[in-house]
Amino acid sequence: MPELPEVETIVRSLRKLTAGRRILKYHPLRNDYIHQGLEHRKKVTNSVIQEVERRGKYIAIHLSNNFSLLHHLGMSGRLLLQPGSDPLEKHTHLRILLDDGSVELRQRDPRRFGFAAILPSVELKTFVSWSHLGADPFRLRAPRFYALMAGRKQAVKSFLLDQRRIAGLGNIYTDEALFRAGIHPVRPTGQISSAEAGRLLQCIRTVLRESIVAGGSSTNDYQRLDGTLGLFQHKHRVYRRVGLPCPICHRKIEKLVLNGRSTHYCPGCQT
């Protein structure tokens, strides 16, 4: 699933390549992929893209007519900027034609866990998928982060994956950050000290920044806006490295399943 770095990479490209461009047509290929606001699709015509915003793993494209286009890529989704003449790939569910139709945004999603929506911009703050998200890791302060974990019995990885607590993290970056912080993924959050919480938050931010610079991790379906792959998968230290030596202590990386999610860790560095 595209996580915060992958979505942020797409958002930065959208800001650079689509700001100021006019929408010629909003063209769903599956009406059920538009979870809200399908009746507004004609109002999008001739509007101009003004700003692109990320919150957690969500993308909001703000338009000149006070509407916003919301996108979530789910498990297998891609948002691509392509020539309108390119053949349509299978599982393309949405086309947003720009300018004269020679260029378009296409959302492709084989497993259909993602979605799109059209809504008045003033309603974005009350849209459930957007409004219930927790703090952004880059804006969260260490004392608040520690307070969110204090007294809880929940495994720290499960806590970090809860989008209502921290928005944007998934399997890749929780595994990588916990490794760097030297914290075992099943350790109860209530047992983590204030100092450890501060170190973990810093590790989360560091690994996210490094991945954004590398264009994200292309481990399954993720592609950047132009269709190229991210490169951070080549810098993973534990994620999907089962049986390979830890880059620090050289013990073999192991995997466990936590709440149905594969979790990768070093038994030597994360005791």
Instruction: Identify whether 165 is a catalytic site residue.
Output: no
DSSP-assigned letters across all residues of 113-131:
--EEEEEEGGGGGG-HHHH
Nearest to 239 by CA among 181, 160, 175, 187: 175
| C-beta separation of 129 from 72 below 8 A | yes
The angle at the Cα of 61, spanning 4 to 70, to the nearest 5 degrees, equals 70
List 54, 55, 57, 165, catalytic entry = 57
Cα–Cα dist 66/47, whole Å: 9
Q: Catalytic pick from 2, 5, 137, 185?
A: 2
d(CA 157, CA 49): 37
The single-letter DSSP state of residue 87 is P
3 is catalytic: yes
Would you call 87 a catalytic residue per the annotation? no
Place of tokens 């507004």: 40
List CB contacts of 86: < 8 A, sequence separation 6 or more.
none
Give which of 211, 146, 156, 210 is closest to 183, Cα–Cα.
Answer: 156
- In the residue annotation, 153 being an active-site residue is answered as no
Catalytic positions: 2-3, 57, 261
